[in-house]
Structure 1
Amino acid sequence: MKQKDVLFKEIESKSEDYYIPPQDAKIDRVWKAIPGLNGLKVDIEASYKKMKPNGVFSEEKLVFHQIQPKVNLSDLPPNPIYKGHPDKQMVSLLINVAWGNEYLTDMLATLKKHNVSASFFLEGRWAQNNPELARMIEAAGHEIGNHSFTHPNMEIISSSKTREEIQKTNEVIKAITEKPIKWFAPPSGSYRNETVQIAAEEKLGTVMWTVDTVDWKKPSPEQLLNRVMSKVDNGSMILMHPTDPTAKSLNQLILQLKQRGFQIGTVSELLSSERTIDYYHLGKGNNEETN
């Protein structure tokens, strides 16, 4: 018992060295809304149970739990979101779909090969005309978002037209996939403050992008890869479309992102305050987590 008590006190004492405070979501002057990030705290009781058979302290047997921030994205006033938290080693692929059907099957096959989930933002008109493809995307486990109904310039259309574009697309996608939608990506990144406000009233967050592949300009796969990999960082949202350059470079892009240590998640995963396994203080990747 004396040895166990000493071990418990050692874990209790050392746990302070591993504590990472949570970070609140905030409005940044440049990047607008930035999500928060959970903190980490050693679970002393659970860690003790793992170490007591050997009776000695072991970093690798520490058990952590995450601590949620007090302020989350949902607590902030409506603002566009350009990136995830800069300390979260995750990126997201945003695929806007209003055309390019001939490249979708290959892109979906590549994503499946690497077990990567992306966020597809569908134009409502496209989804209405291509329900089978829309269902194929959803059935493959990808996140579906709203990309307006007719791809207008959201910065200049009327408030009533803005609401109509968002509502009609929500209705079409929900009818096809039977899933609610969480995010809105304005066509061409054009919006005004009222656009973001109306989207929020329709229960959608407005997302932009951090890195643009500019794949519609038909760069070579090498140019596309160089463009992305020279700009990508923690929390980046990478914009792409179903194009020939993207279809040809997607396999290599995913490999290079993973080689750089990035996890690839959906927009919802990226913008959550949840830490990735890589963010455990020890970086061992084998810690258990309790919530």
Structure 2
Amino acid sequence: MNNKWKQIVAISAIAGISWLLVQNPYTNHYLIVLKEEAASVSAQKDTLYLEIDNKAIRYEAPPSEAKIDPIWKAVPGYNGLKVDIEASYHAMKKSGKFDEKKLIYKQVSPKTHLSDLDPAPIYRAHPEKPVVSLLVNVAWGNEYLQGMLTTLKKTNVKATFFLEGRWAKNNPMLAKMIAEGGHEIGNHSYSHPDMKTLSSSASKSEIQKTSEVIVAVTEAKEKPKWFAPPSGSYRDETVEIADSLGMGTIMWSVDTIDWQKPSPDVLTNRVLSKIHPGAFILMHPTESSANSLETLIKEMKKKNLHIVTVSEALEETRIVH
């Protein structure tokens, strides 16, 4: 048999086998099942996708614009949330079921930011942000400062320390110890004057000189971003001067009143009864605060409040649990 006939026979055999497979009722059934399964998977994907799309709005939140509030003065913005439909679908497609815990979000930035506002003091972070910040004003209290730093390290918490310039100049090792602990450092004037009655030139000198000292003793690469007026005393011009020097003015929404030397129980109850999302908590290196600090931190964490620096608290990034 020559090659041509061999090819004809082979082709005929393949054609015959193919015809038998197609006509075989079992083969037909198998193909139908495969098609139905493929259609089912496709329908399931479409249904899940549509379910995510339909339910997304329940989990989304619009951004909050930064604003000047008549009571709270400058209030930072806060990112909104939008569900990423495609990413959420891929996160759920393996199970084929909707699961809100697997939703993937995109953060939506507000149009107006803190930097867009006219200079105004800041008393707290955004009231929907589950954060609090410890503001430690330092002009004295060396004997309690190291204990507070030890507690902060032990509990893995970073605070914002506002240093008086004169204190930082006289205690460079302690100032550097604060910086090396990873804490944020702010400006608390040079000689603790009443900024409300101080002249414009003297106010500028107090703030400017303090920033220079802080940079020198801590070897910081940048000047402080935040200014805390002594005793919370200021006038509008004070805030404007700080702004002209690249600093926001920070106040507080919860006061430990630790200078009155309350017992740890009194101080702790005072703070926890007034704590709120976005709180700025004022304290000093006192025996009362040093002895209350660890309990305060533990109790605030139990309330699902993140303890962060002022800069972190004022960021627009939304915290999603």
In which range does the TM-score fall when normalised by the shorter chain?
A: over 0.9
- Give the C-alpha shift of residue 10 in structure 1: 2.0
Distance in 2 (CA, whole Å) between partners of 1:230 and 1:68 is 32
Distance in 2 (CA, whole Å) between partners of 1:43 and 1:134 is 45
Q: How big is each residue's C-alpha offset from its partner over 1:260-285, in whole Å with a ceiling of 9 and x where there is no partner?
A: 2211111111112122233xxxxxxx
Within 5 Å, which residues of 2 pair with 1:14-53? Answer: 14-53=55-94
Within 5 Å, which residues of 2 pair with 1:157-172? Answer: 157-172=198-213
Find 2:254's aligned residue among 211, 214, 219: 211
1:48 is aligned with what amino acid? Y
Within 5 Å, which residues of 2 pair with 1:135-154? Answer: 135-154=176-195
Give the root-mean-square deviation of aligned CA atoms. Answer: 1.1
- Which protein shows a greater Rg? 2
Q: How big is each residue's C-alpha offset from its partner over 1:90-143, in whole Å with a ceiling of 9 and x where there is no partner?
A: 111000001111111110111111111110000111111111111111111111
Match of 2:157 in 1: 116
Match of 2:25 in 1: none
1:216 is aligned with what amino acid? W
Find 2:279's aligned residue among 211, 236, 240: 236
Distance in 1 (CA, whole Å) between partners of 2:56 and 2:226 is 38
- Give the C-alpha shift of residue 54 in structure 1: 1.8
- Give the C-alpha shift of residue 52 in structure 1: 1.4
Distance in 2 (CA, whole Å) between partners of 1:140 and 1:52 is 45
Distance in 2 (CA, whole Å) between partners of 1:179 and 1:157 is 29
Within 5 Å, which residues of 2 pair with 1:1-291? Answer: 1-177=42-218, 178-180=220-222, 181-278=224-321
Judge which range, 59-68 or 48-57, deviates more. 48-57
Higher relative helix content:
2
TM-score (norm 1): 0.93
Distance in 2 (CA, whole Å) between partners of 1:224 and 1:19 is 38
Judge which range, 49-58 or 105-114, deviates more. 49-58
Partner-residue secondary structure (3-state), 2:157: coil
Distance in 1 (CA, whole Å) between partners of 2:104 and 2:60 is 12
Distance in 2 (CA, whole Å) between partners of 1:233 and 1:55 is 40
1:223 is aligned with what amino acid? V
Q: How big is each residue's C-alpha offset from its partner over 1:227-257, in whole Å with a ceiling of 9 and x where there is no partner?
A: 1111111111000000001111101111111
Distance in 1 (CA, whole Å) between partners of 2:170 and 2:221 is 18
- Give the C-alpha shift of residue 5 in structure 1: 2.7
Unmatched tracts of structure 2, length 5 or more: 1-41
TM-score (norm 2): 0.84
Partner-residue secondary structure (3-state), 1:121: strand
Partner-residue secondary structure (3-state), 2:192: coil
Distance in 2 (CA, whole Å) between partners of 1:149 and 1:268 is 22
- Give the C-alpha shift of residue 80 in structure 1: 0.5
Q: How big is each residue's C-alpha offset from its partner over 1:151-194, in whole Å with a ceiling of 9 and x where there is no partner?
A: 11100111001011111111111123314211000000010000
Distance in 1 (CA, whole Å) between partners of 2:209 and 2:50 is 60
Partner-residue secondary structure (3-state), 2:213: helix
- Point out which structure has higher relative CO (alpha carbons under 8 A, 6+ apart): 1
Identity across matched positions, percent = 60
CA 1:179–1:144: 2 relative to 1, 3 Å: farther
Partner-residue secondary structure (3-state), 1:173: helix
1:60 is aligned with what amino acid? K
2:304 is aligned with what amino acid? G
The number of equivalent residue pairs is 278
